[in-house]
């Protein structure tokens, strides 16, 4: 086998493996979380395996979509707000970001979160 074919097969195998790992991380985030909104009220967040999200707080229902990486699930709500769920060790936390704010910086408010389902 030529060096080029060997290298192509190696790259293909690495890509296949990394795609499988990414999918398992996203599946790990699917579930229901309890936390607080920016005013301290109870906030229930459900992440579904089809990348949709639903939130319930103060009698309001929020809809959105989410994506994940190794240690974060980022939810884009139809309201324009963004929520980032993060896993640090065995503890979850939720950070809220105002519409248009980058999710790489400090958010509006960070509170503990708990995965309940």
Q: How far apart are CA 84 and CA 104, in angstroms?
A: 10
Q: What is the pTM of this model?
A: 0.76
pLDDT value, residue 25: 60
Write the pLDDT tens digit of every residue in 65-89. Answer: 999 976 899 999 999 999 999 998 8
Looking at the predicted structure, is the pLDDT value of residue 26 above 80? Answer: no
Mean of all residue pLDDT scores within the chain: 82
The fold of 3-115 is Lipocalin (2.40.128)
Task: Show the 3-state SS of the chain.
Answer: CCHHHHHHHHHHHHHHHHHHHHHHHHHHHCEEEEEECCCCCEEEEEECCCCEEEEEECCEEEEEEEEECCCEEEEEECCCCEEEEEEECCEEEEEEECCCCCCCCCCCEEEEEEECC
């Amino acid at each position: 086998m030529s060096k080029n074919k060997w290298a192509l097969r190696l790259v293909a195998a690495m890509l296949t493996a990394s795609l499988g790992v990414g999918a398992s991380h996203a599946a790990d985030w699917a579930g229901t979380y309890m936390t607080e909104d920016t005013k301290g009220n109870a906030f229930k967040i459900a992440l579904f395996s089809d990348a949709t999200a639903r939130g319930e707080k103060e009698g309001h229902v929020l809809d959105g979509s989410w994506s994940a990486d190794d240690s974060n699930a980022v939810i884009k709500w139809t309201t324009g707000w963004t929520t980032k769920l993060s896993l640090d060790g065995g503890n979850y936390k939720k950070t809220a970001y105002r519409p248009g704010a980058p999710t790489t910086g400090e958010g509006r408010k960070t509170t503990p979160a708990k995965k309940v389902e």
